[in-house]
Homo-oligomer: A and B are copies of this chain.
Amino acid sequence: MPAQRMIDMNADIGESFGAYRIGSDAALLKIISSANVACGFHAGDPAIMAQTCEAAAAQGVAVGAHPGYPDLQGFGRRAMTLSAGEIEAVVAYQVGALQAIAARAGTRVAHVKAHGALYNAAERDRDVADAIARSVRSVDESLILVAAAGSAMAEAADRHGLRFAGEGFPDRTYDDDGHLLSRALPGSVILDPVLAAENARRMAIEGTVETIGGRKIKADIRTLCVHGDVPGAVSIASAIRAMLESKGVSVVPLPALFH
């Protein structure tokens, strides 16, 4: 089977904290193949991480670390200015914490995807991206980095000899430069499962992203990011998976893509 007939589906999981519950983890874990698990800085806590790893392992979903800024109050979505050394340390810390929690659940951390404002910084800031890549490599060089295809993070993964999986967002609108349309703009989030599924098909089979202006841009997408945090999001994820399977695309965890 040719390589392009396999793709991963990832989602942010385990974002509850203490008494607080958020997300649709149980439903998403039946759909996705890789879970980005919050590591206690912007969301998640040790007990939630343990439950999340156990649930992912039970569903055969691979787990990845989803490190963020130390900003629980802002859910890691507020930009913060950390030095490269601080970023290296906080990423390693969070990845390691999840590795231990995952080992207890009989699974292992397969990938790393930065969260929120850290993800955004790593998309365009080479210093931030390098700090993340350096940190991940020093902890475990077999870890796969996940970020937007074509981002500074992609280049940093390459520079540091890490495997990289570019991700696409089938439930988001892209502008004509191939970037995500700002969430502040109308139409940025796609709520129609049919449209999202068609985007997923195009990303997985044609290897292209269609922009708001109708352009088709080539993109090496290995994993599709889906969501569980807005109404209807799980239905969209479901529709995406159904579309992929109907077209003969296998949804497999990230490590299976790199064999």
Distance in Å from the Cβ of A55 to the closest Cβ of chain B? 14
Q: Is the CB of B139 within 8 A of A92?
A: no
Distance in Å from the Cβ of A28 to the closest Cβ of chain B? 17
Write out, one digit per residue, whether chain A residues 77-115 have a CB within 8 A of any chain B CB (1) or not (0): 111111001101110111111111101100000000000
Q: Is the CB of B88 within 8 A of A73?
A: no
Minimal Cβ-Cβ distance residue in B for A75: B19
Segment at the interface with B among A42-50, A152-160, A240-248: A42-50
Q: Compute how far the CA of A99 lies from the CA of B139 in the bound complex, rounded to whole angstroms.
A: 9
Of B22, B93, B97, the residue contacting A20 (CB under 8 A) is B22
Q: Is A175 in the interface zone, CB < 8 Å from B?
A: no
Q: Is the CB of B93 within 8 A of A100?
A: yes
Most buried by B among A18, A50, A71, A135: A18
Residues from chain B with Cβ under 8 Å of A94 in the complex: 97
Q: Compute how far the CA of A45 lies from the CA of B17 in the bound complex, rounded to whole angstroms.
A: 14
Distance in Å from the Cβ of A106 to the closest Cβ of chain B? 9
Q: Is the CB of B78 within 8 A of A101?
A: no
Q: Is A74 in the interface zone, CB < 8 Å from B?
A: yes
Q: Compute how far the CA of A182 lies from the CA of B47 in the bound complex, rounded to whole angstroms.
A: 24
Q: Is the CB of A88 within 8 A of B50?
A: yes
Distance in Å from the Cβ of A116 to the closest Cβ of chain B? 10
Minimal Cβ-Cβ distance residue in B for A79: B81
Of B20, B86, B100, the residue contacting A96 (CB under 8 A) is B100
Residues from chain B with Cβ under 8 Å of A103 in the complex: 96, 138-140
Q: Is the CB of B73 within 8 A of A18?
A: yes
Distance in Å from the Cβ of A35 to the closest Cβ of chain B? 17
Q: Is the CB of A139 within 8 A of B18?
A: no
Residues from chain B with Cβ under 8 Å of A81 in the complex: 78-80, 117
Q: Is A14 in the interface zone, CB < 8 Å from B?
A: no
Residues from chain B with Cβ under 8 Å of A18 in the complex: 72-75
Distance in Å from the Cβ of A141 to the closest Cβ of chain B? 10
List 5 other contacts, CB 8 Å, given A18-B75, A96-B103, A104-B138.
Answer: A17-B20, A17-B72, A19-B43, A50-B85, A74-B82
- State the A residues within 8 Å of B (CB): 17-22, 40, 43, 45-47, 49-50, 70-75, 77-82, 85-86, 88-90, 92-101, 103-104, 117, 135, 138-140
